[in-house]
């Protein structure tokens, strides 16, 4: 491939490259570049939002470069302040380790294992003494740190900024120095942190990394960025039917963005699909079905994508309850000391909501039903015998046939 052809691939789904000229020069060397992506294991699922940058890392791999994935097992205990109006909750070592174990294998549903190097930043940050930290801090001014929009806003509004938060960008920058990154990938909210990496590399006599930024994927609610804490996410580990159904629930206006960031459909074909929808030649629902099939096919198989589409048509388009809802045994964790089961706890235990609070909101809004009957009474409890054999519906597209 020519340099321009490579750049054309790398430009897709990006909002800014700092700088494209530097990237072209690095590509011209012909050597495998070291492409860094740092991820803090603050949750146990890789979502489609997280997959946006992982897929860009895969693009570099396909062009012959080395993916350097840094698991922030040290920085996750600090908490990235990016975009936050208040101090993040600091995770315990046990929470971080549980999350690391959960996501470490999931990334290989996207990345080429043979072209991926995994690092843990505790290996260098955890060994720094207080003298080392002071020397590191001497390489950055307070004025420069306070250029961050979220810090500036919190400072002017007299909201607290903890000292450990000021160190986070320096920690992330040291990751780039340690692995000698040629390029760092990140979401738009990581721009400041990534630029600190460039600055520190120059301070340590290295060539500064190129920064390539990707947009943040809007979640299924159509409002906020995809987040497990908000419950508006699709996990790459979701079952084909759940993955398909959640995709079908997104607002029509998100389709083009999701096609571009979450699939490999050529941009020219996406543009044609959107034009046909806008002209009335194509029903947006059919374009969204194509989107859902593409996403399921990426993380499961093309056959699974087609089967999920058939399931959707039979179940939802024809207004049927599924004849063969996905079976799910009632988890022991959902059974209380009295031997009874509350639906909010059951919904969480089955992974259909990420917290008890969100499960209760779903129930209160009428989004939870048993065999077609809505259950909104939060105090109602069932025996296992009362639930076995019934179909639990959560939201529009998630069904489970309950078993022992």
Residue 234 lies in a domain: no
Instruction: Characterise 258 by phi-psi region: left (phi > 0), alpha (psi -120 to 50), beta (else).
Output: alpha
Does one domain contain both 249 and 293? yes
Of 317, 339, 367, the domain-final residue: 317
Residue 362 lies in a domain: yes
CA-atom Rg of the chain in angstroms = 23
> Which pLDDT score, from 0 to 100, does residue 206 have?
95
The rounded distance, in Å, linking the Cα atoms of 31 and 47 is 32
The SS3 of residue 275 is helix
Residue 281 lies in a domain: yes
Is-contact 367 347, C-beta < 8 A? no
Does one domain contain both 141 and 272? no
> Which pLDDT score, from 0 to 100, does residue 351 have?
86
Compute how many other C-beta atoms are within 10 angstroms of the C-beta atom of residue 141: 10
Look up the pTM and report it. 0.75
The residue range of the domain holding 344 is 327-403
Tokens of 339: 């031997």
> Which pLDDT score, from 0 to 100, does residue 85 have?
46
Does one domain contain both 190 and 293? no
User: Which CATH number fits the domain that encloses residue 248?
Assistant: 1.10.240.10
* Structural domains counted in the chain: 3
Does one domain contain both 157 and 261? no
Residue 313 lies in a domain: yes
Does one domain contain both 210 and 79? yes
Nearest-CA neighbor of 397 among 241, 283, 222, 254?
A: 241
The rounded distance, in Å, linking the Cα atoms of 154 and 376 is 39
Residue 41 lies in a domain: yes
Does one domain contain both 70 and 132? yes
Residue 269 lies in a domain: yes
The rounded distance, in Å, linking the Cα atoms of 40 and 75 is 7
The rounded distance, in Å, linking the Cα atoms of 257 and 395 is 23
Q: What is the mean pLDDT of each run of 10 residues along the chain (404 residues)?
A: 94 93 95 93 85 96 95 78 55 76 85 92 92 90 78 82 84 94 93 91 94 94 86 91 92 94 95 94 92 96 94 71 72 88 90 85 87 82 87 83 86
The SS3 of residue 295 is helix
Does one domain contain both 27 and 87? yes
Of 199, 214, 229, the domain-final residue: 214
Does one domain contain both 359 and 395? yes
Place of tokens 């700092």: 18
Sheet holding 368-370, edge to edge: 327-329, 398-403, 391-394, 368-370, 373-374
Of 289, 317, 345, the domain-final residue: 317
Does one domain contain both 273 and 363? no
Task: Tell me the DSSP string of 358-383.
Answer: HHHHHHHTT-EEETTEE---TT-EE-
Burial class of residue 188, CB neighbours in 10 A (0-12, 13-18, 19+): middle
Residue 230 lies in a domain: no
Does one domain contain both 152 and 301? no
Cβ neighbours for 76, distance < 8 A, ≥ 6 positions apart: 40, 41, 42, 91, 96, 99
User: Which CATH number fits the domain that encloses residue 114?
Assistant: 3.40.50.620
Cβ neighbours for 5, distance < 8 A, ≥ 6 positions apart: none
Burial class of residue 337, CB neighbours in 10 A (0-12, 13-18, 19+): exposed
Place of tokens 């077609």: 372
Does one domain contain both 332 and 194? no
Residue 322 lies in a domain: no
Does one domain contain both 51 and 131? yes
Beta pairing class for 210-214 and 16-18: antiparallel
User: Which CATH number fits the domain that encloses residue 385?
Assistant: 3.10.290.10
């Amino acid at each position: 491939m020519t340099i321009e052809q490579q750049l054309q691939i790398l430009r897709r789904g990006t909002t800014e490259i700092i700088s494209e000229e530097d990237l072209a020069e690095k590509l011209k060397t012909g050597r495998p570049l070291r492409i860094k992506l740092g991820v803090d294991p603050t949750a146990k699922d890789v979502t489609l939002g997280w997959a946006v940058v992982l897929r860009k890392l895969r693009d570099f791999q396909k062009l012959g470069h080395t993916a350097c994935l840094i698991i922030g097992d040290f920085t996750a205990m600090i908490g990235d302040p990016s975009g936050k109006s208040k101090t993040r909750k600091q995770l315990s070592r046990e929470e971080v380790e549980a999350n690391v174990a959960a996501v470490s294998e999931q990334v290989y549903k996207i990345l080429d294992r043979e072209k991926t190097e995994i690092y843990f930043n505790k290996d260098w940050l955890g060994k720094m003494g207080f003298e080392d930290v002071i020397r590191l801090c001497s390489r950055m001014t307070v004025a420069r740190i306070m250029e961050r929009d979220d810090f500036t806003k919190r400072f002017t509004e007299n909201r607290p900024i903890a000292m450990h938060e000021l160190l986070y960008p320096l920690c992330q920058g040291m990751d780039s120095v340690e692995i000698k990154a040629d390029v760092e990938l990140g979401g738009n909210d990581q721009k400041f942190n990534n630029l600190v990496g460039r600055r520190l590399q120059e301070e340590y006599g290295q060539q500064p990394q190129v920064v390539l930024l990707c947009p943040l994927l809007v979640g299924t609610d159509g409002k906020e960025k995809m987040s497990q804490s908000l419950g508006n996410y699709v996990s790459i580990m979701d079952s084909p039917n759940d993955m398909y159904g959640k995709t079908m629930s997104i607002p029509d206006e998100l389709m083009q963005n999701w096609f571009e960031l979450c699939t490999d459909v050529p941009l020219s074909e996406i543009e044609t699909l959107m034009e046909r929808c806008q002209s009335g030649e194509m029903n947006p629902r059919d374009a969204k079905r194509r989107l859902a099939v593409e996403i399921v096919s990426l993380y499961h198989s093309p056959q699974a994508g087609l089967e999920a589409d058939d399931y959707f048509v039979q179940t939802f388009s024809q207004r049927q309850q599924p004849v063969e809802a996905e079976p799910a045994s009632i988890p022991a964790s959902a059974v209380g000391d009295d031997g009874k089961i509350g639906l909010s706890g059951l919904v969480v235990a089955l992974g259909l909501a990420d917290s008890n609070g969100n499960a209760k909101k779903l129930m209160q809004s009428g989004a939870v039903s048993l065999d077609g009957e809505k259950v909104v009474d939060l105090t109602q409890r069932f025996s296992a015998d009362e639930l076995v054999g019934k179909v639990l519906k959560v939201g529009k597209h998630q069904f489970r046939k309950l078993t022992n």
